Amino acid sequence: MEELRGTERLAATFAALKGEGKRAFIAYVTAGDPDLETTRELVLTLERKGASIIELGVPFSDPVADGPVIQEAAGRALAAGTTLPKVLETVRQLRRETSIPIVLLTYYNPVLRFGLSRFAREAAACGVDGVIVADLPAEEGDGLRQPLDESGLALIPLAAPTSTPERIRLIAEKARGFIYCVSLLGVTGMRADLPPDAAALLERVRAMTDVPLALGFGISTAEHAAIVAPQCDGVIVGSAIVKLIAKNLDNRPQMLDEVGAFAQALAAAVG
């Protein structure tokens, strides 16, 4: 596994889990919240406690797909001086300690300003494996997908309950790594109940592709994760983890303990 990188590392991770009858627990944290050293420790803690893939959010000033919990995390990260180059450098440092797949979740504007080809090259050089661009439709993704493909990185598309069959077919054709299935309409955030449309969306996407499907948005508890896991290849949990980080901003050891315990419960539920 250690010699694989990028799209290949993601594919190998899903294949290995499938071979064991398991699914991926994909843990999200906002890079730089409250600082990048804490992010490094959180990533290593999440891996030790059972996360299969790490999703690192690149803080952005206009995170239209995110709810209040992750918006506030982005605000804290930006206030601490977190930038895209610093996030990439953090991934580079993490690669000295871990080979867990790392996916960046970002918006298109920071990547465009950085330069599409330069972003792909530097992300690959730092050890990033895939990229999710929350506001980049599959129809408009070729400009970024090409340099990412050339660098061996996955551009991971999103499918939503409102996606038409034609759009899901296009998403399936363009997908690399996995498809991020958005369980509900609206923004990220914790919900008391599971979205009713999630199973139908997974069925519609699965009918068109064998690419792994990961379900996110609104999955807030281990109980939620246990219910949806049998329907997909991976479960993404973000806001509930970020809320634990926010709760313990003044006590890093307690933050790591609480995030680790929650991650362990989620990993067991997804497994």
pLDDT tens figures, 223-257: 989 999 999 999 999 999 999 999 999 999 999 99
- Among 8, 37, 62, 66, which one carries the catalytic annotation? 66
Residue 171 has pLDDT above 80, yes or no: yes
Is 55 a catalytic site residue? Answer: yes
The span from the CA of 33 to the CA of 78, in Å, is: 8
pLDDT of residue 187: 55
- Among 47, 55, 129, 233, which one carries the catalytic annotation? 55
Average pLDDT over residues 123-132: 98
Residue with tokens 């596994």: 1
The span from the CA of 144 to the CA of 166, in Å, is: 21
Residue 2 has pLDDT above 60, yes or no: no
Sign of CA dihedral 161, 212, 56, 52: positive
- Per-residue H/E/C for the chain: CCCCCHHHHHHHHHHHHHHCCCCEEEEEEECCCCCHHHHHHHHHHHHHCCCCEEEEECCCCCCCCCCHHHHHHHHHHHHCCCCHHHHHHHHHHHCCCCCCCEEEEECHHHHHHHCHHHHHHHHHHHCCCEEEECCCCHHHCHHHHHHHHHCCCEECCEECCCCCHHHHHHHHHHCCCCEEEECCCCCCCCCCCCCCCHHHHHHHHHCCCCCCEEEECCCCCHHHHHHHHHHCCEEEECHHHHHHHHHCCCCHHHHHHHHHHHHHHHHHHHC
Is 258 a catalytic site residue? Answer: no
Give the list of residues 6+ apart from residue 157 with CB closer than 8 angstroms, or none: 138, 141, 171, 174, 175, 179, 180
Selection from 209, 216, 171, 175 nearest residue 195 by Cα: 216
Give pLDDT tens digits for 24-62.
999 999 999 999 999 999 999 999 999 999 999 999 998
Question: What are the boundaries of each domain within the chain?
Answer: 6-270
| CB atoms closer than 10 angstroms to residue 155 | 24
Q: Using pLDDT thresholds of 50, 70 and 90, give the confidence band for residue 1.
A: very low
Q: Which fold has domain 6-270?
A: TIM Barrel (3.20.20)
199: left (phi over 0), alpha (psi -120 to 50) or beta: alpha
pLDDT of residue 271: 85
Give pLDDT tens digits for 8-28.
999 999 999 999 999 999 999
